[in-house]
Amino acid sequence: MTRNSLVRRPFGYSYRHYTLWLIAINVFVFALKLILGGSMDGYLAMTPILVLGGFFWQPLTYMFVHANLTHLLVNMLGLLFFGTAVEKELGSKEFLFYFLLTGFLAGVFTFAAYLFTGGASIPFVGASGAIFAVLLAFATLQPNAQVLIWGIIPMRAPLMVLGYTLIELFSQVFGFMNGIAHLTHLAGFAFGWLYFLVRFGVNPWRRFFPGRR
């Protein structure tokens, strides 16, 4: 696949602070939810049975809705710290496309999983799927970056990403931390990985550990 193919055709580089705009939209939606009440969830959260009933926009809008203030703050801090760095590396257009596409695909994957496991009436919300994809992108683009876990423990970004992946897998398999859509998080990682392979021809693993296959 050549760089001039449609799939790999680059966007023109620009840096327009789309990360801050995404954060602003999420904060605005949360504020609107506080004003109008939880009824907004019925329209913007993703509930498989509603999507099947014609609410076709929910696989995109669910990532702009958050369950509570803690949920919002954790996701927005992750987006601020890591999304800004990824946007500067990729450019604003590429970053926005990456964020929305991985978030959408993570939502579709979770939609299918919920639908086929009897959770068709369970709503789910949050930008976590897209943000986990952003974490993967950060580690791929800056594999030697040091991240302070809990503000104390220094760790290479790839090890942080792989650690989170293992935690999510463990939690999904053994049912820990119920209420968190671990499948969505894992799907965000997976689609972010696939994006780098298909779009850029870059294998994140080889960026994480140069010289190893």
CA-CA distance, 37 to 32, in Å (whole number)?
8
The pLDDT value recorded for residue 52 is 93
Q: What is the pLDDT of residues 161-196, one digit of tens each?
A: 887 777 766 655 555 445 446 788 889 999 999 999
Determine which of 47-56, 150-159, 171-180 has the lowest per-residue pLDDT on average: 171-180
pTM of the model: 0.90
Instruction: Answer yes or no: are the C-beta atoms of 31 and 91 closer than 8 Å.
Output: no
The confidence band for 211, taking pLDDT boundaries of 50, 70 and 90, is low
Q: Summarize the confidence of residues 138-161 as an average pLDDT.
A: 83
pLDDT of amino acid 176: 47
In this structure, are residues 96 and 153 in contact, taking their beta carbons and an 8 Å threshold?
no
109-147 pLDDT per residue, tens: 989 988 888 888 888 899 989 999 999 999 999 998 888
| 1: confidence class by pLDDT, cuts 50, 70, 90 | low
Q: At 148, give phi and psi (nearest 5°).
A: -90, 110
**Do the Cβ atoms of 194 and 139 come closer than 8 Å?**
no
- Residue that is written with structure tokens 């220094």 in the block: 154
Task: Name all domains of the chain by residue range, CATH numbers in brackets.
Answer: 18-208 (1.20.1540.10)
- Long-range CB contacts (within 8 A, 24+) of 175-180: 180/128
Per-residue model confidence (pLDDT) at position 88: 97
